[in-house]
Structure 1
């Protein structure tokens, strides 16, 4: 008999960290994910420049993942988001399209993405862009610098208000 957790890339579901006052656990997030409007101030810097500063973000919450923040396309100056070829598919949100993110002489390849024609329930993402925080100089939520989610696939934004453990690192594929 083969046990799922003994296969390469799989591990048992971890024990969730207990959230403290004012914190939330990613293990309380839903699946399928949900979109949640936020009024926090989100600031993104790249190439020594502020490339987005908004209080009109939404975040996507999904079990075991730190939130992914989506910012309005119009929060970015012209020329910062450069569409590139290729796409990926999310079983919940639909087809994602990518951007190189450019500021001054710095180019972060395929560091942003959008869902121009999202699946039902995710319409709020159609005019918004998510960014991999680890590919930016910095991302902040209400003045707190974000830590990026481990791995090169997910784009979660980790703050002190979010507890895990988080999917994305080695051995988490089976969660």
Structure 2
């Protein structure tokens, strides 16, 4: 039986001199581009870079189709912590620039990381943990996402106007983020919002669709979202509507909540 020292019986997060955090994962992970499996690993490691809130996978070289990698023609600078070695991925006639790289840490010297999803013609097309396709980024094993039906009284206002009022919300608790309140559609004023073509993906919840405020005021677009086909773990939020706490006023059981400051706050300010 082959042993893998990177998988001790007691898992723990390790720190490198470069400020990277990493730990072994026991998930079977595969990455594909087109019909080609580029990565097939039962011994990946999760890596957290200091400037990123979500982890990435790095894979033992033996689990990677290194024959498809070429030294990058135009390697980027400053995109990954201390990384200077990048690879272009050539699969058939398709070339994905800077699709892979190595971290400078000695602990990770024999591992290769990949862009998790295809963006600006780089990265891979599909990723799987076991038999489930995963989107956007790997799931963080230290993060929980719980969707709990509630009887709390939730009221949402925009510019002093009540746009939603319910006693039947589903509260979504996600580590390091404010509680999100998913409301029945019948308790939201649909005439005050317009559907947009904006969409986002979440590895914990699925793909969201959005609506924008029709009224006046300094309100960012795409302020309301819904998951028409959420992942099974959060099925309770299906077709419900949620608002960015960062940009609207939410009152719960008579208590006005402070608008939180999150990574989404800056994103909402940047929107045209």
Mark yes or no: TM-score above 0.5. Answer: yes
- Alignment-derived partner of residue 36 in structure 2: none
Question: The residue matched to 1:122 in structure 2 has which SS?
Answer: helix
| Equivalent position to 1:50, from 162, 170, 175 | 162
Structure 1 runs of 4+ aligned residues shifted over 6 Å read: none
Q: Structure 1 152/82 Cα, relative in aligned 2: closer, same or farther at 3 Å?
A: farther
Any gaps of 5 or more consecutive residues in structure 2? 1-16, 22-48, 54-141, 266-272
Matched, 1:4 2:20: yes
Structure showing greater Rg: 2
Q: Structure 1 47/64 Cα, relative in aligned 2: closer, same or farther at 3 Å?
A: closer
Q: Which of the pair has the greater relative contact order for Cα pairs under 8 Å at 6+ separation?
A: 1
CA RMSD of aligned residues (A): 2.5
In structure 1, distance between residues paired with 2:174 and 2:157: 26
Any gaps of 5 or more consecutive residues in structure 1? 12-29, 155-175
Q: TM-score, normalised by structure 1?
A: 0.67
The number of aligned residues is 134
Give, in angstroms, the shift of residue 10 of structure 1. Answer: 5.5
Where do residues 6-155 of structure 1 align in structure 2 (5 Å cutoff)?
9=51, 31-103=143-215, 105-106=216-217, 108-136=220-248, 138-153=249-264
Q: Structure 1 52/127 Cα, relative in aligned 2: closer, same or farther at 3 Å?
A: same
Q: TM-score, normalised by structure 2?
A: 0.44
